[in-house]
Structures are given as structure tokens and as C-alpha cells.
Structure 1
Amino acid sequence: RSTNHEKIRKQIWTTRLYLVIFIIILFILVLYTSLNKKSININVQLSSLTQYQQLEIKYKSTLTCPCDRISIEYKEFIELKVSYHEVCTSDFISQQWFDYLYNKQKINDRNFLATASIQFQVLASLCKLTQETINIGLTQFYSTKFISGQLNLNETFQKQINSILKIFQRSISQTFKRTLDMIHEVIHGNFYMTIFQTNWKFTVLERKRFSPFYTNPLTYNNSCNCGTSSKCSEKVILNNSIIDGLVIGCYPFESMLQSSLQCLYNQTCLELILLYFKVQSDNITFNILSSINQYGIDEKVEHMVDRLFVDQWYIDYSYEKYFQQCYPTFCTYSYIQYFNIFYIITTILSLYSGLTITLTLIIPFIIHILFRLFYRRKTFITPLSQTLNQNID
């Protein structure tokens, strides 16, 4: 009986400990699986831009859509148009205007009467060259390929294209300016004399046969010497009136760059020029400039050249066309899941059998050890108490 009673007690304690430990472990598992983050990856077939935009709104940070075409020419989704300064389509770059200003009898007078025609021809050439440069640049730009292994988000796409366009606009302007500067430095560095003798003039010291001709640099504003600087200039004065914006200097090219077109916006100022260059011809009229842009009428031609005479770039790029060319057929996105009852149940069921077997093996062993320790302590205490009683007696 004693032995059976002890077994029953062991079984009771084993069951109790088993239930307590099992409940504690079960609670820990439920708590862990509930708080544990789980990344869920989803693949979805893509059929339209609208579907993609809906996915972008929900899963912007993790959405990836591989492109079927990884290289796309810019012309497929970008269109650039240019609005040039009004002067480049005005009467002031026409042959009629050049002829009106030209006076071959005054070609060596070293004044505006001699250089006016060629200065405006320089302006016309600059207009033409800048337009050709932009057209060539656009052709090259359109054929350049946009490399993208994945469909960019709309926001990222806009930032990339805006950055690309700024680099293109800056590079094409800098390339043109460097070419002009190089040509200008070569001309000035070799001290070439203009046909109008506006930078150097011939000087005869002796009127003898085979006497040499000497050249001396001209001085403008009583201070700037064309021998040391190509940028010397002074204001144009016609009939004792200063012509707003126009200057004359060492080179017609440099003079036009330092000039502004302010006079060409004013009918009164234009009539001063027409009166000064008056020719025997009837019904010749030239229309003044009328369109005022954001840069102002006193802007120097040099600054116009820096921006290639462009008043406005009209940029049109289409994300929809980019999407069509990229042609993504599927997308992948992921999201974090914190609580999933199915995942919790699955985890518990997968661990249940192993946990049950483990507890079934370990807990009886623990109870057995505890009971042995308990009986050993009880056995030790009982004899000791009996010995003490005998000694007292």
C-alpha cells in the first residue's frame, strides 16, 4: 500500500508539474509568435499602369518591378522644345539690315559706321550657331539610352529626368562657350588685325621707298589697350547721342558680346541709327523688338550666348510612356506581419508533439529526484530526533 500510495503521489505531482510547465511554455510560444515580425513576400502579375500606381501607394518602400527592356532611348518618353530670343527671328539679323548698315566707303574709319554691319552679322551667326548646336545636341540626347533594370517609382523617375536635363542643358552651353573662347583666344593671341583696323592701326614713320609699316594698338576709353586686352570697348555715339547698349571695341565679335540690345526695343533709339545710316531707298522699315523676357532688355549678348539664346525650355516627359517602354510584367513587394493566428496555430502544432515527448521524459525524472531528496531528508531528520530523545531520558 505504501508503495502504491507513493506511486500515486508521484503521478499526481508529475501531472501537475507537466501541466504547469506546458502552460508556461505554451504561453511563451504564443507571446513570441504574436510579437515576432514576419516578412511576407508577394508576387503579382502586372497588367496596367493603374494597377502599378495602386501598388505604389500601398507598398512604395518595398515594391520592385523588373523591366522587360532595360535600355530605353530618351526620345521614347522625353520631348524638348526651345523658345529662342526674339532677336534671332527679327529684322536685325536679316540681309536687308546688314545692307542698310554697310558702307564700303567708310570701312577704314575705325568707328561704328564701319563696323555696324559686321557686328550684327556676328549676332546673326551666333544665333545660327547656337540653334545648330542645340539641334545637334538634341539629336544626340534623344539617341542616348536610359538604363533601368527595374521600373523606377514616379517620384524617383522625375528626379532622375530633371537631373539629366539640367546636366544636358549645362553641358551643351559650356561646350559651345569653350569653343568660342578657344577661337577668340587664338585670334587675339596671334595679334590678328581686323580689316577695320579697330584693334591695330598702321603707322608710317618714314615716307621712303621700301620703308616698313609699323602697327600700334588702339586705345579705348583712354585707358584700355587692345595690345593687352581684347575686351577694350567704348559706347557708341551717333550725332552726339549715346546709343543705349551698343559698344565698339577691338574686335567686332567682342564688341557685340559686350553690347546689349536695349536700343532695339526703343523706336526713338532705332530711328537715330536709321538716320545716321540713311540710304537712298524708300519704304524700308525695321520692326523693333517687343517681347520682353525674364532676363530684361539690358542683358548683354554675352549672357545670351551663355544660355544659347534660349529664353525657355519646354520639357515634356511621360511616366506612362516610360512605363510602356519598360514593360514590367510582374512586381514583387513585401510587408511585415506581426500577428497571424494561422502562423501561431501552425507553430504550436508543429512543436506540440516534440514538446509533449520531451516533457513526458524529463518531468518524471525530475519528480523522482525530488522525491528521493525529500525522503532522504526525512530519514535523516527522524533518527536524529530519536537520538536526542534518548539522551534526554
Structure 2
Amino acid sequence: MFQVQTESLISDLRQTMANDFTLSFSTIRKTTQSNALLNGQLTNYALYQLSGSIYTNAAPYEYGDCSCGSSATCISQSKIMDYYSGTIYLYVPGIYIGCYIIESLLQSDLRCFYNQSCIDELQPFLASFSQMNVSALDKSLLVRFVENSTVQEMMDELMIETWNSSI
């Protein structure tokens, strides 16, 4: 009887924690989106000033057919490119860019980080003064998630792969 009650309390605690976190996180996201806040990286709006004007205007960026002016969840595949020539060196699988960094991160997944060849392709573009020895994440350690689970799916589960409770 005691063990059943304790397991029930632990289950309720897990659910309450997940619900509380989700509510708080969702409130912050919706507040940011509904106020159309300009982010510091300028990934949602481009600022411009007309010649002779003292006013600054903002034009929403578009990702594919999606405008940041109408949706905060617009995304496109992340790529590493030369800004000046437009040469694309690498598309990063599972990683997205979009209007807000948090929104694109939540829609991204970690598949590249479970693939050694993807990491090897990405590594030369990372700012580092010395070569790093980076190994792919171990797929065999996954229990609840898969390598292409979105960050949102993991956040919904508080990024907890397994719960261990000893009674």
C-alpha cells in the first residue's frame, strides 16, 4: 500500500513539474511572439531607414513561404555559407534557423550530433584555435528519445531520458 501511494506521488510530481515548466515556458514564448519583439540577432525583422527620415522601419524576414510578420515559428534549414559570395558550404541536418532562435531550436533535432561524419564536416567551421576531438553521441544510450526527436519533444519531457525512483 505504501509503495503504491509513493509511486503515485512520484508520478504526480513528474506530471506537475512538466506542466508547470511547460506553462511558464509557453507564457514567455507567447509574450515574446504576441508583442513581435525585435530580437538582438535580427532574425525576425530587418531594420531600415529611408533617406532623410529620422524614423526606423522594420520589415519582417521570410523563411521559405513563411513570414515572421505573421508567424514566429517560421524556419529554414541551417546552412554554413559565405555571406558575401553566397556560396553554401554545408547544410546542417536537423538544425534550423528562423524568426526567433528559441523557436527554431525547438523545431531542431540532434541527428547531426549522433553522426560522426556530420560532426567531422561541421568541425572545420567552428571557431577554435586548436583542433577539437569531438565524438558523436552514443545512440545506444537512447531510451525514450530517438536521434531525430525534436528539442521540443525533449523539452516536453523535461529532457529526462529515464526516471529512476528507489523506494
The TM-score by the shorter chain falls in which range? Answer: 0.7 to 0.9
State percent identity of aligned pairs.
Answer: 24
**Larger RCO (alpha carbons 8 Å, 6+ apart):** 1
Give the Cα separation in 2 of the matches to 1:283 and 1:202. 38
Deviations 1:162-194 (A, max 9, x none): 222211101101101111111111111221111
The corresponding residue for 2:100 is 251
Which runs of structure 2 are paired with 1:53-68 in the superposition (5 Å)? Answer: none
Supply the distance in 2 between the matched residues of 1:237 and 1:275 (Cα, whole angstroms).
14
2:165 is paired with a residue whose SS is: strand
Q: Whose helix fraction is larger, Structure 1's or Structure 2's?
A: 1
User: Which of 273, 280, 305 matches 2:122?
Assistant: 273
Whether 1:286 aligns to 2:129 is: no
Q: Which amino acid aligns with 2:106?
A: L
What is the CA-CA distance between 1:278 and the residue it aligns to? 5.0
Tell me whether 1:302 sits opposite 2:152 in the alignment: yes
Which of 3, 11, 19 is equivalent to 1:174? Answer: 19
SS at match of 1:246: strand
Displacement of 1:203? 2.6
Q: Is structure 2 residue 74 aligned with structure 1 residue 226?
A: no
Write the letter of the residue equivalent to 2:19.
Q
Q: Which amino acid is 1:302 matched to? A: Q
* Cα offsets for 1:54-81 (capped at 9, x unmatched): xxxxxxxxxxxxxxxxxxxxxxxxxxxx
Whole-angstrom distance in 1 between the partners of 2:110 and 2:9 = 32
The 5 Å alignment of 1:80-119 reads none
Mapped to 2, the partners of 1:203 and 1:311 lie a distance apart of 45
The AA in structure 2 aligned to 1:187 is T
Offset at residue 241 of structure 1 (A): 3.6
RMSD: 1.7
Shift of 1:242: 2.7
AA in 1 matched with 2:63: Y
Amino acid at match of 2:119: L
Show the counterpart of 2:161. 311
- Could you list the runs of 5+ residues in structure 2 that have no partner in the other structure? 81-87
Q: Pick one of 189, 207, 213 that aligns with 2:56.
A: 213
Structure 2 Cα separation of the partners of residues 276 and 313 of structure 1 = 37
Output aligned runs, 1:92-241, within 5 Å.
156-204=1-49, 206-208=50-52, 210-221=53-64, 223-238=65-80, 239-241=88-90
2: CA distance between counterparts of 1:267 and 1:252? 25
Q: Measure the CA separation in 1 of the matches of 2:59 and 2:94.
A: 28
Distance in 1, Cα, partners of 2:107 & 2:73: 8
SS at match of 1:245: strand
Deviations 1:338-392 (A, max 9, x none): xxxxxxxxxxxxxxxxxxxxxxxxxxxxxxxxxxxxxxxxxxxxxxxxxxxxxxx
Structure 1: distance between partners of 2:102 and 2:40: 13
Residue 316 of structure 1 aligns with an amino acid whose one-letter code is S
Unaligned runs of 5+ in 1: 1-155, 318-393
- Give the TM-score normalised by structure 2: 0.85
Q: Aligned residues, how many?
A: 158
Q: Deviations over 1:136-166 (max 9, x none)?
A: xxxxxxxxxxxxxxxxxxxx33332222221
In terms of Rg, which structure is larger? 1
Amino acid at match of 1:288: A
- Report the Cα distance in structure 2 between the residues aligned to 1:272 and 1:193, rounded to whole angstroms: 33
Provide the C-alpha distance between the structure 1 equivalents of 2:94 and 2:130, rounded to a whole number of angstroms.
Answer: 28
